[in-house]
Structure 1
Amino acid sequence: MTDHKQDDVTGIETTGHSWDGIEELNTPLPRWWLWTLYLTIIWGIGYSVAYPAWPMISGATSGLLGWSTRANVAQDIDAHAQKNAQLVTDLLGTDMEALPQDADLNRYAIARGGAVFRANCSQCHGSGAAGAKGYPNLLDDDWLWGGAMADIEYTVRHGIRNEQDADARYSQMPAFGAILGKDDIAAVVEHVISLSSSDFDAALAETGAEVFADNCSACHGDAGQGDRSQGAPNIGDAIWLYGSDRQALTQTVTKARFGVMPPWGGRLEEADIRAVSAYVHSLGGGE
């Protein structure tokens, strides 16, 4: 048995433990601390009974009060939807081209569209919509299919070169590696570089101009200005989706490119499609 002794100096009983002749006092806990402990235990039990607390196999205890964070969030969403119900109705009933003329409605559409963009589009186009290699920059005025409000809405709704929407925008660049020889490809690449840069081989570019006229001008135009009706990019404006160096251009001509954008018509609400179209149009590149 542990031998409890009374400390001669303090008069407090010791725990009976001794380490190198040093004994520990058995000082009692303060009453306020004990009562605080008891109250927190009582409070914890009451909370567990009243509110959701203990995880179970397929859920958690619901609590006697039936309180739910999901229900609270749902109520907040419903309240927000009711508050903006008229704006949503107006957004659905307004012609997209006329939307900027209604300042309040346009402001709401852009704010809502920004949230939709960050949740669904920023993964490819970037949080600031500046794009990346293979993903268009939405801040400039270089559009493959048109930058008017209606054009943007159509692209958002149906997507590009996907297999889910029969109305998706679609264009196909041939892989000229199976059509042209390496010398012709090198020549046409040099010609393409000459359209937007002063650093090129003039003799090779002149040869490439003939190859371009015979194989590329039908889509890109005689001067390389592009054709939005078929999604053919302007290759004379020094704006490149996959890179402008000779290696990147050679790969583009040889193997072609085939970027895909999903259709959002079946994924987003109609109001969200219109809102995100307005947001993209407002970024600076809308026409």
Structure 2
Amino acid sequence: MKVVTVGNVNLDVVVLESSAPRLPGDKNDVEAINLYAGGGAFNGAYSFRALGAEVEVASTVGADFEGEWLHNKLRSIGARDTCFNSHPNFATSKAVIQVQPQGRATVQAYRGASQDLQLPCLNALLDWADVLYVAPVAERAITKVLQALEQSSNSDLKVVVIPAAQGLHEQQAPLKQLLKRANVVCMNFVEAQLYLGRGELLPETEPTPAMTELIHELQTELDTNVVVTLVPAGCVFYDGERTHYQAAYPIARICSTIGAGDAFASTFSFHFLAQTHSVPECLALASRYSAAVLQAPGANLG
């Protein structure tokens, strides 16, 4: 399988907070501070490469030390970099991720180069690829992706979309258009409600009739294969005919929730589009890999 991932590539500064009491006015001791490559395009690429796919990453970093470091990380996982470029005016995107002892994360992000992805060679990559994997990106980048899809002559290309919550909340027209072009859409339950314009959001719990009805409504609206994650209960797949529920894979301790959605979406998409496993098997494999990422401090296993 040949995959193009489009999206952000960030430098993640991950701070593992300590459960020790904090003294007023004193420095806060932490368990660790580490640097990782992150962002939806990198996380997806890492998963696809681990599964044996050929991968091109279409993204933009700054013309700085951090950008070169991320470029080297990209090469180290065996991904291709034809459309991985440097922005002349923005620094590399960065995120400071503070992870609490129970695994919940708070993210402070500097968007940098990711707010203006340069995708000059995307058209050629789409003619090469079997799968286009679009991670959460800014509206401007979605417009570029739509233009490339419109110009592509690759009628066999499959499109996977993981939408950004902000775009769903703002009901962005380009994002809606891209979602309806997708062969697979992955989002969490809160994002599904945002897309459907729900005012009062239901919590993510075990599947209920109201929840299943909402997911069916989402699939009818998009007319494609939909996977909705129910953190931390599991996930639901619906294609207009079949509904499948997969419970969350059991883990002893969550280290960090960052990147688990990317891990799930990319792993499910690979197996589902390769047509080598049944839908329940695809969901189980994705759940298992996502659980492994939940037990890692970074947004992927790299």
TM superposition score normalised by structure 1: 0.19
Which structure: larger Rg? Answer: 1
- State the structure with bigger RCO (CA 8 A, min sep 6), 1 or 2: 1
TM superposition score normalised by structure 2: 0.19
